[in-house]
Amino acid sequence: MTNFNNTLDFLDWAFVALLKRTPSPQESQHLEAAIETQSMTQLQVLALIIDGQEYRNSNIDNEFVPSGHFYSAVPSLADRRRVLDSPTQSAPPPGIDLNHTTQVQLLKSFEQYYDDNLFAVEKCSERRYYSNNPAFSWHDAFVLHAMIKSFKPRSIIEIGCGFSSGVTLDCIEDIDNYTPEVVFIEPFPETLNSVLYPQDSILCGLIDTLTSCLRMSASCSDPDNPVPINSDSSPVSDRDDEIETSSLSSFCCVSARCNTALSF
């Protein structure tokens, strides 16, 4: 957590960051005393603010889905309380080296890709992705863009697709002499199809059923023979792994190199 000169500085920061206002004299006095007497920690004060009705009301219009939902990046209130109340809340996860130093270095290296005009704001014909959408924000898009430009993976498999897929393909087109294999796995491809261009079936593949996922694994035995896969899994040739391609939403082209893909 950020270091502060004193408790009041921390309280001012917390209220402005979370509630967009400074604390009242009564709130400052009460919470300062709680922290100074160690009856509350700074993390518990943050949890108190987040649990309050004022914070909930201020964020209700900004929530795509409720906290704790499958699509939410915010843990549920019960999970937050459980972690904050845990005596080992500061301990690293068992068996996982978070490698903080390297992560910070990587994040700083992303500065070279920053550009205010990197993404379109509204839907347009020049780019697939636009930042004024309800699901994938500018900041998320920038991190994905920077990851692809930094690592240039030979294969990209995206599980859960939509506006992020537009970022992926836009970024690939921005890099000279870069043609990775791209596979999108999405059981509900309506949003994805609204983002992609009709000709994108040449650049990427979409798996929209579990049967296709299983068939992809089986097809990876031949590294030099890309296999078209259709979501209806209906063979139309003498080869069991050669399937009719009827539309963009059911087209997938994969090869054995997908086994070593960098997945985002």
Do residues 72 and 145 both lie within one domain?
A: no
Q: Write out the residue range of the structural domain in which residue 196 sits.
A: 111-263
pLDDT at residue 186 tops 70: yes
Q: What is the rounded distance in angstroms from the CA atom of residue 35 to the CA atom of residue 45?
A: 8
Do residues 126 and 199 both lie within one domain?
A: yes
pLDDT in tens, 9-44: 999 999 998 888 999 999 999 999 999 999 999 889
> CA-CA-CA-CA torsion for 47, 52, 56, 59, nearest 10 degrees?
-60
* Percent of the chain scoring above 70 in pLDDT: 72
Q: What is the average per-residue pLDDT within 236-246?
A: 32
Do residues 140 and 243 both lie within one domain?
A: yes
Global confidence as pTM: 0.54
In a domain, 96, yes or no: no
Number of domains in the chain: 2
Q: Is 158 exposed, middle or buried (0-12, 13-18, 19+ CB in 10 A)?
A: buried
pLDDT at 212: 46
pLDDT at 209: 56
Residue 93 DSSP label: P
In a domain, 93, yes or no: no
Q: What is the rounded distance in angstroms from the CA atom of residue 223 to the CA atom of residue 210?
A: 22
Q: Is 260 exposed, middle or buried (0-12, 13-18, 19+ CB in 10 A)?
A: exposed
In a domain, 127, yes or no: yes
Say whether 142 sits in a helix, a strand or coil.
helix
* Selected residue with higher pLDDT from 67 and 132: 132
pLDDT at 208: 65
Q: Could you give the count of Cα atoms lying within 13 Å of 142 in the half-sphere of its Cβ?
A: 15
In a domain, 89, yes or no: no
The residue out of 66, 84, 102 marking a domain boundary is 84
